[in-house]
């Protein structure tokens, strides 16, 4: 009885379909660098022989990898299936789409997006004050001027995002530089349909200049606080 009871409680892992197992192995080879960007995979027939599965199974596995943006297929004499090169813009577009869906279905809300901006941008302002270069300062000044002299809401909004991107880039964390824009896009998706007053834009200009001044003077605590105040006022004016 004891042996029978133990057998009934076995913890097992279900065997995945063959195409998923193939895709998982190829995906691991991409991630660990065994298959480098630009490398061409063997033909479906050769892959089938190597994995011991049918061409249809290989085809389904390759479709799965393509949907994950890990491979690209080229037609013609020099065609075939190749390992995709990392594309930050494609990743950002994917994140934006996912965040828009999550926001649209109330899985996440504006308050959570706002908190995420605080988490990403306040420490970035601090880091920018500590690590900014002369080139960073020039970029920040130019972006702040573009916001100030923007003629349309779209001009001002785009230039404002350029300023925030310049602050984050000056902090030197490439992952945050990659993740922040999709959050902005979703957080500000209704900004164009909710115009701000001329007085509010003047406030935004002054707040940007406050952040810039502290970064320029290498005052990290003040830069972080100025960014926090700016973001909170942006959120309150939505």
Domain end, chosen from 34, 56, 83, is at 83
* CATH at 191: 1.20.120.530
Same domain flag for 211 and 117: yes
* Closest C-alpha to 172, from 123, 222, 229: 123
87 DSSP 8-state letter? -
Phi-psi region of 69 (alpha: psi -120 to 50; beta: other; left: phi over 0): left
Beta bridge partners, 21, equal none
Indicate the number of domains in the chain: 2
Same domain flag for 124 and 168: yes
Tell me which residue has tokens 């001044």.
213
Residue 5 lies in a domain: no
C-beta pairs of 193-196 under 8 Å, 24+ apart in sequence: 194/238, 195/153, 196/153, 196/237
pLDDT given for residue 90 in this prediction: 87
Residue 98 · residue 164 · CB < 8 Å: no
Boundaries of domain holding 142: 89-236
Residuewise pLDDT in 10s, the chain (238 residues) = 555 666 677 777 778 899 999 999 999 999 999 999 999 999 999 999 999 999 999 999 999 999 988 999 999 888 999 999 999 998 899 899 999 999 999 999 999 999 999 999 999 999 999 999 999 999 999 999 988 777 787 788 888 999 999 999 999 999 999 999 999 989 887 555 566 777 888 999 999 999 999 999 999 999 999 999 999 999 988 7
Task: In whole angstroms, give the CA distance from residue 25 to residue 35.
Answer: 11
pLDDT given for residue 190 in this prediction: 54
Same domain flag for 221 and 109: yes
Domain end, chosen from 28, 54, 83, is at 83
Non-local (6+) Cβ contacts of 62 within 8 A are: 23, 41, 44, 71, 73, 81
Task: In whole angstroms, give the CA distance from residue 35 to residue 107.
Answer: 36
Task: In whole angstroms, give the CA distance from residue 223 to residue 206.
Answer: 13
39 DSSP 8-state letter? P
Same domain flag for 134 and 191: yes
pTM: 0.80
Residue 73 lies in a domain: yes
Q: Is 120 exposed, middle or buried (0-12, 13-18, 19+ CB in 10 A)?
A: buried
Task: In whole angstroms, give the CA distance from residue 183 to residue 185.
Answer: 5
Same domain flag for 124 and 186: yes
Domain end, chosen from 52, 83, 114, is at 83
**Residue 179 CA to its chain's centroid (Å):** 3
């Amino acid at each position: 009885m004891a042996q029978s009871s133990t057998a009934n409680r076995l913890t097992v892992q279900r065997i995945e379909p063959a195409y998923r197992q193939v895709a998982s192995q190829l995906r691991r080879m991409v991630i660990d660098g065994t298959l480098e960007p630009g490398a061409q995979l063997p033909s479906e027939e050769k892959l089938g022989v190597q994995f011991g599965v049918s061409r249809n199974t290989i085809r389904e596995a390759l479709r799965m990898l393509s949907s994950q943006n890990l491979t690209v297929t080229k037609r013609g004499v020099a065609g075939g299936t190749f390992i995709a090169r990392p594309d930050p813009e494609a990743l950002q577009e994917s994140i934006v789409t996912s965040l828009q869906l999550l926001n649209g279905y109330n899985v996440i809300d504006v308050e959570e997006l706002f908190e995420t901006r605080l988490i990403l941008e306040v420490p970035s302002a601090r880091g920018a004050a500590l690590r900014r270069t002369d080139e960073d300062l020039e970029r920040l000044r130019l972006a702040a001027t573009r916001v100030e002299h923007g003629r349309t809401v779209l001009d001002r909004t785009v230039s404002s995002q350029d300023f925030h991107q310049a602050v984050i880039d000056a902090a030197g964390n490439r992952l945050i530089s990659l993740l922040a824009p999709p959050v902005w896009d979703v957080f500000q998706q209704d900004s164009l349909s909710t115009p701000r007053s001329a007085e509010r834009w003047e406030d935004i200009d002054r707040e940007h200049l406050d952040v810039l001044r502290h970064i320029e003077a290498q005052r990290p605590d003040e830069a972080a606080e100025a960014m926090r105040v700016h973001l909170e006022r942006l959120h309150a004016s939505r």
